[in-house]
Amino acid sequence: MNTNQLKYFISVAKHLSFSAAAEENYITQTAMTQQIKALEDDLGCKLINRSTRPITLTPAGNSFLSDAKLILTRLNDARERANEASTGISGTLRIGYIKGYERSGLSDSLRQFHRTLPNVLLMCYRDTSDSLAASLQNNEYDIIFTWDSTNLRSDKAYNAIEIEKARLMAALYASHPLGQREYLERSDFNSESIIYMSPSELSDNYGDSQFMDLYHQAGYRPNIICRSTDIESILIMVAAEEGISIMPDYCVKKINNAEGLVFIPMKGEKEVEEIHAIYKKDNDNVALKHFVEQLKRSELHTGIY
């Protein structure tokens, strides 16, 4: 099997004609049929039903068509990336991320990108969601990874890639009566003191309103004794038995030897925090273009808006 055979097969599938595919690829019809036959022999199955007029794809041909297209796309992408690396694409990519997200898989994505384009300097900045949004609007960052507290995604000047839906976890002190539960719900915290983790230093923001709605749906107004964007400070307060907190799993899953703390998943489809990578549509930074393409290829992200 070679790339020409894949290209020829895709062409035959498009035209449902050996002669039209041969003309499109500037080879003889005989050569076209020979190449398709060689591909079929290599795969060990028939791809083309030659007994119909016009010719049709067999079930195997229909199945293989999408794979053939994907293989050629991946090969072209690989050639492009290799060429860019060899020619030394350089520059700077300024990346902002929400506090706590340094414990996620973000570093893996950055490492992969650096290995592909080592001459691009990655500048990383940790901040609150409102500051990230403001800096992106002021062209201080090329892209931000954020719990969107400003509803920036609704602005048509921006593109957003949903990177993950992070499961929310309840952070309890080890002696808490609920500490042995398999999962918890908002209704379990009606009488609790809440140390509230917010994405923003602003008290009135889009992100907070989403989670306040969850408390209201559970039938009560939460007793918030403190709100903070600093995960470490929140966890210290929880360990001191000041109250309990709820935070995304990426904040806690890499914590080792969490003495005095217990982390329990929250139950419910809405008990997630959506992390988006957001960037301006008119940003012409070449490094950003390639980073976005990597994110779109990544298995981490769940959707593109």
Which residues make Cβ contacts (< 8 Å) with residue 302, sequence separation at least 6? 162, 163, 164, 165
Q: Across-strand partners of 97?
A: 126, 145
Q: What residue type is assigned to position 203 of the chain?
A: S
The answer to whether 152 touches 217, Cβ cutoff 8 Å, is no
What confidence category does residue 91 fall into, taking pLDDT thresholds of 50, 70 and 90?
confident
Q: Pick the more confident residue, 255 or 9.
A: 9
Average pLDDT value for residue range 275-304: 82
Q: What is the pLDDT of residue 86?
A: 62
CA atoms of 241 and 106, how far apart (whole Å)? 31
CATH of domain 166-272: 3.40.190.10
Q: Pick the more confident residue, 80 or 58.
A: 58
CA atoms of 250 and 247, how far apart (whole Å)? 8
User: What is the per-residue pLDDT across 107-142, written as a single tens digit (0 to 9) for each?
Assistant: 999 999 998 888 899 999 999 888 999 999 999 999
**Per-domain boundaries in the chain:** 3-87, 91-164+274-304, 166-272
Q: What is the pLDDT of residue 76?
A: 85
Name which of 76-90, 181-195, 251-265 the model is least confident about: 76-90
Q: What is the pLDDT of residue 80?
A: 72
Which residues make Cβ contacts (< 8 Å) with residue 113, sequence separation at least 6? 93, 120, 122, 290, 291, 294
Query: What's the mean per-residue pLDDT of the chain?
Result: 88
Average pLDDT value for residue range 144-172: 88
How large a percentage of the chain has pLDDT more than 90? 62
What confidence category does residue 271 fall into, taking pLDDT thresholds of 50, 70 and 90?
very high
Residue 175 has pLDDT above 60, yes or no: yes
Average pLDDT value for residue range 253-260: 74
- Joined together, the tokens standing for residue 167 give 């499961």
- Joined together, the tokens standing for residue 265 give 């998943």
- φ, ψ for residue 38 (rounded to 5)? -65, -40
Residue 205 has pLDDT above 70, yes or no: no
Average pLDDT value for residue range 155-170: 92
The answer to whether 245 touches 194, Cβ cutoff 8 Å, is yes
Determine whether domain 91-164+274-304 maps to CATH 3.40.50.300: no
Average pLDDT value for residue range 172-177: 94
- Please determine whether the domains at 91-164+274-304 and 166-272 fall in the same fold group of CATH: yes
Q: What residue type is assigned to position 231 of the chain?
A: I
Angle (deg, nearest 10), helices 106-116 and 286-297: 120
What confidence category does residue 302 fall into, taking pLDDT thresholds of 50, 70 and 90?
very low
The answer to whether 287 touches 167, Cβ cutoff 8 Å, is no
Q: What is the pLDDT of residue 289?
A: 92
CA atoms of 89 and 102, how far apart (whole Å)? 26
Residue 105 has pLDDT above 80, yes or no: yes
Average pLDDT value for residue range 195-221: 82
Q: What residue type is assigned to position 259 of the chain?
A: E
Class of domain 3-87: mainly alpha
Q: What is the pLDDT of residue 305?
A: 38
Cβ-based burial of 20 (10 A; exposed 0-12, middle 13-18, buried ≥19): middle
Q: What is the pLDDT of residue 149?
A: 63
Angle (deg, nearest 10), helices 59-87 and 286-297: 150
